[in-house]
Structure 1
Amino acid sequence: MADLGFPAMTITLMTYAGPVDDHAPMPRTGGVPLVPAGFDWPRCAACSGPMQFLARLLVSDLSAQGSVPEASAGVLSVFMCQNDPGLCDEWDPGAGGNRALLFPGVGLTVAPVPAEGKTLLPETCGIDCTVIDAAVYSEARSLWAQAHGSPVRNVLGQLGGVPSWLQHDETPTCPACAQPMNFVAQLEEGREHQTAMNFGGGGCGYAFACSPCGEGSFLWQC
């Protein structure tokens, strides 16, 4: 392992698990969200169009790391406007161009998809989790790719741990309790340009949650 001047830590990578069904109840990017009764598809505050569903993340996966109380575990579903990319402030956690919705882990059904707007990704990718000991997230990605003889773009992000910010720390505060939110996951754009999420070209998305308050937040940097 390369010595990058940081102590080694345990990093949980989210890796490509192959194509999965659009309605699979597993961690995934793409597909159709599973939602509670009474769900309204989120719409962009700027253009009023329906947002694109990006990812289904199991917040319960963090309970083993001590980040989220087991009783508060659930599903974080991430949405972002792509109807007019770049003009709806979709990178900002509070501008209304994206949403991260925290749902309970049970009682969810397939959401009706709006007929208009850019709402779904072109590909539905299952997510596996792999634990790597590394100094930083970028090193963990490289080590995984070398060990598996796989492209580094098959690393779809990281679950929990410490955000690897591309710019400055933008950890959001919970709108309900005003405390810093727990880091849930970092998302890479995806394996292929044609099916990737749009984080400005080579950017990363960052998902957060405050489980006691039932709040989620999302932003991206490039």
Structure 2
Amino acid sequence: MLLIHDGETTDDASVPRTGGVPLVPGGFVWPTCRACGGAMQFLAHLPLDTGVFSVFFCQNDPGMCDDWDAASGANRAYVFSGELTAATVPADGETLLGAVTALRLHRDDEPVDGLVLGRLGGEPDWIQDDETPDCPSCATRMTFTAELEEGYDFATSANFGGGGRGYLFDCRPCGEAAFLWQR
């Protein structure tokens, strides 16, 4: 399934999107970077059959906190379920993308009628070598969930090093998620 650009949407829309404000369960604490200590930037909201995925990565000093590495502590992915509400956004740090972009699901076996911004399921289309992470809880190889492209313009783009691609994984039994990017 492809993720196609579907225009702008509201900051807290429950649709697949990049940017805006994450929808989170009660008691959620905004993630901070292990390297610099700053609040991470919210990247994507992906409601799927297995839960609502939220992706964050550090953009306080791009390139200095190893935000591309799934295990560095400079990015964080979550799988949420249950009742979710808009998170309180920290006042400091590079916490939000410049715009909110809705993503429309589109079958990958049909002609594409828009800008492709990602893909759900299948196998990762690695730019470099396979970097599938192991679950931090059970050490099992995680399942590929989604791929995200940088974006279509500067305001909406994730900083994947210029021409990079993000990869989201999960471990369904443990309820864990992981994120990394390559260029």
TM-score w.r.t. the length of structure 2 is: 0.96
Query: 1:50 corresponds to which residue?
Result: 39
Q: How does 1:63-212 map to 2 (within 5 A)?
A: 73-104=50-81, 106-133=82-109, 144=112, 148=113, 150=114, 154-212=115-173
CA contact (8 A) 1:32 1:53 kept: yes
| Alignment partners' CA distance in 2, 1:76 and 1:195 | 19
CA contact (8 A) 1:51 1:81 kept: yes
For the Cα contact (< 8 Å) 1:54–1:197, is it kept in 2? yes
Looking at structure 1, the residues matched to 155 and 16 of structure 2 have their Cα atoms a distance apart, in angstroms, of: 21
Higher helix share: 1
What are the superposed Cα offsets for residues 156-198 of structure 1, whole Å, 9 maximum, x if unpaired? 1101111100001111111111111111100000011333100
Query: Highest Rg: 1 or 2?
Result: 1
- Whole-Å Cα distance in 1 between the matches of residues 12 and 48 of structure 2? 18
Q: CA deviation at 1:201?
A: 0.2
User: Following the alignment from structure 2 to structure 1, what is the Cα–Cα distance between the partners of residues 48 and 76?
Assistant: 16
Unaligned runs of 5+ in 1: 1-11, 61-72, 134-139
Q: Which deviations, in whole Å up to 9, do the C-alpha atoms of 1:105-126 show, x marking residues without a partner? A: x211110000000000011011
- Inter-partner Cα distance in structure 2 for 1:205 and 1:59: 17
In the alignment, is the contact (CA less than 8 A) between 1:49 and 1:81 conserved in 2? yes
The TM-score, its normalising length taken from structure 1, stands at 0.80
What runs of 5+ residues in structure 2 fail to find an aligned partner?
none
Matched residue SS, 1:53: strand
Provide the residue aligned with 1:136 in structure 2. Answer: none
Q: 4+ runs of 1 displaced by more than 2 Å? A: none
CA contact (8 A) 2:99 2:155 kept: no
Residues of 2 paired with 1:50 and 1:183: CA distance?
26
- CA RMSD, aligned part only? 1.2
How many residues align? The count is: 183
